[in-house]
Structure 1
């Protein structure tokens, strides 16, 4: 007997649980909506312009054919626009800011539509798996059926929060995001921590590195010559407080560190996981706060709608979570 209605749409930011949902007894349709809003520019633009900006970033950052990215974007955004045709919608997300920013977009989308069916949310912040819980993809069919039992109804408070978060995310300054972190997000409790982690991708007031960049250089400082694949594993299992990156997303981060001279490839390989990296002298000086990474950063970087450009005024975050606008 199916656990869901025949005309249910299950939405997830990835395809990691699609097969297990079938094995668990869910028979509804599945939508992978996984635009990684935690990286690259995120502006509140009209639909086609918004999708075009996102597609161009994804293609360039992850070295994918632009036409393929556009096709996938058209398919996923188009399917989301038809979600109102279903009798029920179930959203499957976890606690990190990759998931939560996509969840905010979907809640905003639902909030803007008329005559939407009932929407339910499965939002998991922890589960007893070893070595640590990093995502729903770690769960088996019985586990997914279990967490589904704890789903909650999505009401006006959740939808309104999605709209508020999206407006804050696409702003060119961090003030609205900071206000949400300070006030809390009781309608979706996991959103607050995710937004706080998102703000940690602003340059540090100490050395100009984002948290992801800081942790990556620390791994190289501790491990010396290290394969990129091993770095990714260490980051996810030991260093990152709220794991959120996929592998292609991480190769983009490492590529920028190499291009800017903070790290170097000492043994090349066709694929990123097999490339061996080393911390450079510049990277050491940056970690010791003797140099500022933003001065060497290879071109602008975005944290949502916030643009960080070398040599221009930009926002930074200190160790106490405060943000300041610097001259450059």
Structure 2
């Protein structure tokens, strides 16, 4: 039996050949009615052949034909076995990434350039426009509290990464590896916004999907063999993109969100993943009826429909299908949701507080139910000030919200 395919972008063509043969037998026997109906809708007068079944299998994987599926597999295989690293001067490249998830896989795939992680999670907590020392103090104390990491360790990592950022312009060549989500796209504009016209050659690998992967979430799920194929697709970015990044970063970190809300609705031809990612961050503003961010709203709806589920369960559901643009790691998600479980009148209640926070069975409190139906406002009960970029939200102060069309609304207290 062929090895079963896994959702890592590496397609086992032999497995899918056998799957097509079996599918053909099933359709001729009157089974696999869903697939046969799809085929007859697209090809109403065609006979059922092996090519028909192969088309259906390819279509399920996201390809318009079996030959295109096969061509993709051949291209990935060639790239993995014949990486053009020497001709591309990869050994002099500095690979920038907003995490450590692909460092080992790059080495396995044969990459030898320098790897630099830059992990300040700009999609979490306050990111205001401040002089650097003030920003350093605020961010390190915030992240230390969020993740229960000793402050000295946070300072050490923060200083290492921002020192690397200050030295980026001295690199021979830089390649950014970015996904489509807000975590990655905010990392990209933050780094680009730090540069001026005197910068090294810059290249970008940015992807929102991978052929054959039903739900692409991040580079970490991919086989190392996919990375040389991605390497061949990198493209140059330059001063135009730097100027866009500077404008967007200034808007994101401003305490007045009017520019950010406008820019988050635009599309950027040379940075096509940026607009949707920023718009997703705009949806983290509190809704003017419920006071919930989109992440909080998705969570409360899930727990209402699945009472007794845990935050671990909820996070998995978000990543698997609920979240339109997954951007939070599990610890980040727990940090965002913890304020809903604490305070005098929490939105969520635990059935077993002896368990670790993320493993506690949860249900909506009466207040949580009222929030979901719009008869209560979440920030009147959440006692922790929330932030998106440079904008803060607290039920104790007048603050910005968004309506159901994601238009800004000023809420008076």
Q: TM-score, normalised by structure 1?
A: 0.95
| Alignment-derived partner of residue 200 in structure 1 | 283
Q: Does 139-148 or 271-280 show the bigger shift?
A: 271-280
23 and 2 in structure 1: CA distance in 2 versus 1, 3 angstrom threshold: farther
> Does the CA contact (< 8 Å) of 2:128 and 2:391 recur in 1?
no
> Does the CA contact (< 8 Å) of 1:92 and 1:121 recur in 2?
yes
Could you tell me which runs of 5 or more consecutive residues in structure 2 were left unpaired when the two chains were aligned.
1-82
SS in structure 2 opposite 1:167?
helix
Q: Report the CA distance between 1:130 and its aligned residue.
A: 4.4
Partner Cα distance (2:332, 2:250) in 1: 24
| Alignment-derived partner of residue 95 in structure 1 | 180
| Alignment-derived partner of residue 126 in structure 2 | 41
> Does the CA contact (< 8 Å) of 2:288 and 2:401 recur in 1?
yes
Q: TM-score, normalised by structure 2?
A: 0.76
Deviations 1:71-96 (A, max 9, x none): 11011111121223321101001111
Q: Report the CA distance between 1:309 and its aligned residue.
A: 1.7
Q: How does 1:57-72 map to 2 (within 5 A)?
A: 57-72=142-157
| Alignment-derived partner of residue 9 in structure 1 | 94
Aligned counterpart in structure 1 of residue 318 of structure 2, from 228, 235, 238: 235
SS in structure 1 opposite 2:395?
coil
| Alignment-derived partner of residue 165 in structure 2 | 80
Partner Cα distance (1:274, 1:128) in 2: 34
- Across the aligned residues of Structure 1 and Structure 2, the Cα RMSD in angstroms comes to 1.6
Bigger relative contact order (CA 8 A; separation at least 6): 1
Which consecutive segments of 4 or more residues in structure 1 shift more than 4 A?
A: none
243 and 269 in structure 1: CA distance in 2 versus 1, 3 angstrom threshold: farther
> Does the CA contact (< 8 Å) of 2:94 and 2:174 recur in 1?
yes
SS in structure 2 opposite 1:6?
helix
Identify the structure with the greater strand proportion: 1
Partner Cα distance (2:185, 2:297) in 1: 23
Pick the structure with greater CA Rg. Answer: 2
Partner Cα distance (1:276, 1:32) in 2: 35
SS in structure 1 opposite 2:383?
coil
| Alignment-derived partner of residue 183 in structure 1 | 266
Could you tell me which runs of 5 or more consecutive residues in structure 1 were left unpaired when the two chains were aligned.
none
Partner Cα distance (1:131, 1:233) in 2: 16
SS in structure 2 opposite 1:117?
coil
Deviations 1:47-103 (A, max 9, x none): 222122111111112222111111110111111212233211010011111111111
